């Protein structure tokens, strides 16, 4: 094959064209890599922004739950106090007579009122032996004491609309609580 100046020029142009195409392709690849890096950087920044916003929302939710719990407790306490106030005015209902000392006749309405007043300040009330030991002029049995406690507990339950807690202490006294 005979090489002429024209064919040399064509060969140079062809090589230049191929080199140009390679440069353009390299530039496009470089630009694609750069835009991918930029896109990845933006996505990472967006992820961090979302994570921060989610953390902030979670903190607000925790605070909101605490606030709701406080409000709920406050409402429960208010309802308890209203129930106890109403019960104070109704202690005569379901009341019965018992004997505190030989011959000392008492009405359970008075005892119920005192117990409810202690409930209002979040305390229990000791039911003493003197309240439970005598029925007119004789000592009562353990079964009769338990019957008294059951009857009194039922009276309180009817007044406050919930079962009061009754516990026997180590010294034998009974303690009644708002539960």
Q: How confident is the model at residue 8 (pLDDT cuts 50, 70, 90)?
A: low
- Domain chopping of the chain, boundaries: 1-77, 89-177
- Judged by DSSP in three states, 137 sits in coil
CB 96 within 8 A of CB 151: yes
pLDDT tens figures, 100-157: 766 678 889 999 999 999 999 999 999 875 565 444 556 667 787 888 889 999 999 9
Cα 151 from Cα 168, distance rounded (Å): 16
Give the pLDDT of residue 124.
94
* Full-model pTM: 0.63
CB 104 within 8 A of CB 135: no
Q: Buried (b) or exposed (e) across 82-102, using 16+ Cβ within 10 A?
A: ebbeebeebbeebbeebbeee
Lookup: tokens for 167: 């516990």
Q: How confident is the model at residue 78 (pLDDT cuts 50, 70, 90)?
A: very high
The mean predicted confidence, pLDDT, of the chain is 82
Give the pLDDT of residue 127.
85
CB 156 within 8 A of CB 176: yes
Largest CA distance in the chain: 147
Give the pLDDT of residue 35.
72
């Amino acid at each position: 094959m005979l090489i002429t100046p024209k064919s040399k020029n064509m060969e140079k142009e062809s090589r230049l064209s191929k080199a140009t195409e390679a440069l353009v392709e390299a530039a496009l690849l470089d630009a694609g890599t750069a835009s991918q890096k930029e896109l990845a950087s933006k996505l990472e920044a967006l992820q961090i922004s979302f994570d921060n916003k989610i953390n902030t929302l979670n903190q607000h939710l925790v605070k909101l739950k605490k606030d709701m719990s406080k409000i709920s407790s406050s409402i429960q306490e208010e309802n308890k106090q209203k129930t106890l106030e109403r019960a104070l005015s109704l202690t005569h209902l379901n009341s019965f007579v018992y004997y505190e000392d030989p011959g000392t006749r008492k009405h359970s309405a008075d005892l119920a009122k005192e117990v409810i007043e202690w409930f209002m300040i979040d305390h229990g009330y000791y039911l003493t032996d003197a309240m439970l030991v005598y029925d007119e002029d004789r000592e009562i049995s353990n079964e009769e004491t338990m019957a008294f406690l059951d009857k009194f507990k039922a009276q309180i339950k009817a007044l406050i609309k919930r079962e009061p807690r009754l516990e026997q202490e180590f010294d034998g006294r009974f303690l009644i609580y708002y539960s």
